[in-house]
């Protein structure tokens, strides 16, 4: 038999390669669209939001996504008060997660361990971010990049008891603080001859039995035009009592004076004191006409007292306010600098931040979604629509150590309410304590 020629050998070898390639395509066909499946590998997320919600949504995204972005994603919930310690310890022991989901309150404490996303990346230029997301999410932007991809916002809203209002001749909730002070409080409050309060219109004046006292005081500061805490070239400036142009003078003093009036027995607005239960419990018991809570609390309030005839509205503003404001907790997902799987973390973070995913996730948490398009589309659910509209005017502020700030605010209100110090001196001492703490 004649030996095969070199040309024949090359031809046979080429046919063999083609057959092998065909077998590979049969066993592993390409994904739709002509792109190959990208596997992220194991990605671990730690966060403060509810684990059952996150697990449900991740499983849902895993089953419906054509790409396997969520194939090996695992989520762990950590209590907010333990989050900083747990993350720092994990990094020291080299067991850190790839991603963290946090409210903006915790951003400053973790900014040094987060990998910012450069504004040069497609989809993350400052122009694109402003076009895509609500204004309040600018709190995640810094000079060197975006520190967290926006996920959701939980704004402060006003819950009002419709029966109490109707029984006192009111058909609508108040839209201004002037209405609260001049009409709602004097009409609804009930006191005995010995000044014991039996019906409260609002739960203001005491920090300890006000579930959202920090959020409420922050709302007053925002509405008063406070500059809050600013940052310039890495240096923080505490300007809580300094007004922006057009704001009221000494906005923090004004906020403290307003808040504490309602717990002063000598004031005409006296309608709350420290003997009361937590304001949310009083509202559920129908002994409180107005409760200032986060938008996410609506379903739980409904569940805890199905017979409670209440509704939701935006937080009142000043009658002469030209810009409306309320406080909000802004949530974002951030990539750690020491992420064990940086590439996978980037893919998962980007997928979680898409419009369709954030809309589904926010709805599951009873938050508002971060995208302007989602908010603009509105909601057919009346309560959710109020949360959406409140999210448009919600803002937060930089807080280097939120829990410490919360404690300092609590002490300020306690001292002023007890008469140990006036609001002006109390604010001055508070600003000093904040500078020492930060």
29: in domain: no
Based on the domain organization, do 286 and 411 belong to the same domain? yes
Tell me, what CATH number does 72's domain have?
A: 3.40.190.10
Last residue in a domain, options 360, 386, 412: 386
Helix axes 251-261, 213-223, angle to 10 degrees: 130
Last residue in a domain, options 364, 386, 408: 386
Cα distances from 352 to residues 65, 183, 348, in angstroms, run 12, 46, 6
Whether the CB-CB separation of 131 and 335 falls below 8 Å is answered with no
Based on the domain organization, do 98 and 223 belong to the same domain? no
Whether the full predicted model's pTM is greater than 0.95, yes or no, is no
User: Looking at residue 268, what DSSP letter applies?
Assistant: T
27: in domain: no
264: in domain: yes
Based on the domain organization, do 63 and 197 belong to the same domain? no
8: in domain: no
Based on the domain organization, do 228 and 120 belong to the same domain? no
Judged by DSSP in three states, 148 sits in: coil
Based on the domain organization, do 121 and 168 belong to the same domain? no
Based on the domain organization, do 108 and 223 belong to the same domain? no
Based on the domain organization, do 92 and 167 belong to the same domain? no
| Number of folded domains that form the chain | 2
403: in domain: yes
Residues 6+ apart with CB under 8 A from 379: 385, 388
Based on the domain organization, do 307 and 366 belong to the same domain? no
229: in domain: yes
pLDDT in tens, the chain (438 residues): 455 555 454 444 554 544 444 443 333 333 333 334 456 789 999 999 999 999 998 998 888 765 668 889 999 999 998 999 999 999 999 999 999 999 999 999 999 999 999 999 999 999 999 999 999 999 999 999 999 999 999 999 999 999 999 999 999 999 999 999 999 999 999 999 888 999 999 999 999 999 999 999 999 999 999 999 988 877 889 999 999 988 889 999 999 999 999 999 999 999 999 999 999 999 999 999 999 999 999 999 999 999 999 999 999 999 999 999 999 999 999 999 999 999 999 999 999 999 999 999 999 999 999 999 999 999 999 999 999 999 999 999 998 889 999 999 999 999 999 999 999 999 999 999 999 888
Based on the domain organization, do 170 and 146 belong to the same domain? no
d(C-alpha 409, C-alpha 181), whole Å? 23
Residues 6+ apart with CB under 8 A from 234: none
Based on the domain organization, do 353 and 421 belong to the same domain? no
Based on the domain organization, do 190 and 338 belong to the same domain? no
Based on the domain organization, do 208 and 112 belong to the same domain? no
- Domain extent, residue 351, equals 38-154+329-386
14: in domain: no
């Amino acid at each position: 038999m004649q030996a095969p020629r070199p040309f024949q050998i090359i031809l046979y070898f080429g046919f063999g390669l083609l057959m092998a390639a065909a077998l590979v395509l049969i066993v592993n066909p390409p994904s739709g669209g002509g792109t190959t499946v990208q596997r992220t590998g194991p990605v671990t997320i730690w966060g403060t939001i509810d684990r059952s919600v996150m697990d449900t949504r991740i499983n849902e995204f895993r089953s419906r996504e054509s790409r396997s972005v969520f194939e090996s994603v695992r989520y762990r919930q950590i209590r907010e008060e333990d989050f900083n310690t747990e993350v720092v310890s994990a990094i020291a022991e080299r067991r850190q997660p790839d991603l963290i989901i946090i409210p903006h309150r915790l951003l400053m404490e973790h900014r040094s361990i987060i990998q910012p996303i450069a504004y040069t990346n497609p989809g993350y230029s400052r122009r694109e971010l402003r076009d895509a997301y609500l204004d309040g999410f600018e709190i995640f932007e810094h000079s060197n990049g975006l520190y967290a991809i926006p996920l959701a916002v939980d704004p402060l809203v006003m819950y009002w008891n419709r029966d109490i209002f109707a029984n006192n001749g009111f058909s609508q909730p108040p839209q201004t603080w002037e209405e609260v002070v001049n009409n709602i409080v004097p009409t609804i409050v009930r006191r005995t001859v010995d000044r014991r309060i039996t019906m409260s219109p609002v739960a203001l004046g005491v920090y300890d039995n006000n579930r959202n006292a920090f959020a409420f005081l922050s709302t007053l500061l925002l509405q008063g035009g406070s500059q809050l805490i600013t940052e310039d070239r890495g240096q923080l400036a505490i300007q809580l009592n300094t007004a922006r142009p057009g704001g009221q003078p000494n906005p923090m003093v004004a906020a403290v004076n307003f808040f504490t009036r309602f717990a002063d027995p000598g004031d005409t607005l006296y309608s709350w004191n420290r003997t009361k239960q937590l304001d949310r419990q009083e509202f559920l018991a129908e002994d409180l006409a107005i409760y200032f809570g986060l938008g996410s609390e609506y379903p739980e309030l409904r569940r805890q007292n199905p017979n409670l005839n209440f509704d939701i509205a935006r937080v009142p503003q000043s009658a002469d306010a030209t810009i409306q404001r309320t406080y909000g907790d802004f949530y974002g997902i951030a990539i750690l600098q020491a992420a064990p799987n940086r590439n996978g973390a980037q893919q998962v973070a980007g997928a979680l931040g898409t419009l369709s995913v954030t809309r589904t996730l926010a709805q599951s948490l009873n938050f508002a979604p971060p995208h302007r398009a989602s908010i603009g589309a509105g909601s057919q659910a009346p309560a959710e629509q109020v949360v959406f509209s409140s999210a448009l005017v919600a803002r937060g502020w930089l807080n280097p150590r939120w829990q410490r700030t919360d404690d300092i605010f609590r002490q300020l209100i306690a001292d002023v309410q007890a008469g140990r110090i006036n609001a002006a001196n109390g604010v001055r001492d508070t600003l000093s304590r904040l500078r020492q703490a930060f």
